[in-house]
Amino acid sequence: MENTIFNTEKKTSISKNSRNEWTGETTFKYNDVCWIITTVKGTGGKILSYAKEVQDQGDGNYSFVPYQDKVIDLVNETATATEAKIKEIHLWAVGKFDRLDDKLKEATVLPADEDEDEN
């Protein structure tokens, strides 16, 4: 039996990573493509959110091939990476992905809007 973490229903978790930093992650399948949206603390006081196209391995794991699988930068914001802020930015990034035109989701790499004031 296949053990997949990807289906059309989004599964979101906000938790601490191995460096004890808050992280948001949402897994889902959109148009038969597996995606993970991740929100993490970056360098220089930035919080970053991005969507990655990944390959479902069918055993609860996935793989990502740099320079081949798609990456869409969604958020690049200066903020303190508290649990509440990571959750707020992550949920906003998931919504932003949902609002993207399907043709944009076909692009290989899209830059984040660095001067957005919607957060």
**Structural domain boundaries in the chain:** 11-103
pLDDT confidence tier of residue 60, bands split at 50, 70 and 90: confident
Task: Check residue 14 and give its pLDDT.
Answer: 96
Could you give the CA distance from residue 24 to residue 80 in angstroms, rounded to a whole number? 14
**Helix H or strand E segment including 98:** helix 83-99
Does pTM surpass 0.85? Answer: no
Query: Among the ranges 18-32, 52-66, 81-95, which has the highest mean pLDDT value?
Result: 81-95
Task: Check residue 33 and give its pLDDT.
Answer: 86
Give the residue-averaged pLDDT of 19-27: 94
Does residue 111 register a pLDDT over 60? no
Q: Which of left, alpha, beta for 30 (phi over 0: left; psi -120 to 50: alpha)?
A: beta
Give the residue-averaged pLDDT of 23-38: 91
Q: Which of left, alpha, beta for 33 (phi over 0: left; psi -120 to 50: alpha)?
A: beta
Does residue 1 register a pLDDT over 70? no
Q: What tokens were used for 14?
A: 């906000």
**β-pairing, 11-16 with 62-63?**
unpaired
- Of 56, 53, 95, 101, residue with least CA distance to 74: 95
Task: Check residue 115 and give its pLDDT.
Answer: 42
